[in-house]
Amino acid sequence: MAIGWYLVVSAIIFCIGAVGVLVRPNPLVILLCLELMLNAANLALVAFSRMWGGSDGQVFALIVMVIAACEVTVGLGLIVAIYRRRLAIDVDELNELRG
């Protein structure tokens, strides 16, 4: 398959993730949609790495995976902290971070 088709799939997945971030009010699902967007970027990086025949894109895809893991860890920690305080888990009602 031509590289362009991989990029099209990546663009579609990215847009689905962006719509999810805009539409869903649950922070857990918003984190999942962020994962979708990061994975779309990963797919584009790996496709370009195949296009040029160099492995730099794959190295950065792995680094993006590290970043995603960090983001998930901190985000889920925040959600657990919010849940402990018996607040509503809804981004429309959570508009301050003050402890």
Partner 1 sequence: MSAVLFFIAAIVAIAGAFGVVMLRNPFYNVLSLVCHLVALAALFLLLRAEFVAAAQVVVYAGAVMVLYVFVVAYVGGADESVTHFTGGADRPGALRVLGPLFGVAVAVELCIALLGTALKGISGKGAPYVLGFGTPKQIGTEFLTTYLFPFEVASLLLLVAAIGAVVLARRRRGLEPDESLDARLRPARPAYTGTMAEVAGLVAHGDGEAGR
Task: State which of positions 1-30 bind partner 1 (CB under 8 A).
Answer: 1-9, 11-20, 22-26, 28-29
* Interatomic CA distance for residues 69 and 31, integer angstroms: 11
Q: How far is the CB of 96 from partner 1 (least distance, A)?
A: 15
* Interatomic CA distance for residues 9 and 77, integer angstroms: 31
Query: Binding of partner 1 at residue 96 (CB under 8 A)?
Result: no
Candidates 95, 96, 98, 99: give the one binding partner 1 (CB under 8 A). 99
Q: Find the DSSP H helices in 1-99.
A: 3-23, 27-52, 56-84
CA quadruple 47, 48, 50, 54: dihedral, nearest 10: -140
Query: Binding of partner 1 at residue 92 (CB under 8 A)?
Result: yes
Q: Which of residues 51-80 bind partner 1 (CB under 8 A)?
A: 51-53, 55-56, 58-63, 65-74, 76-80
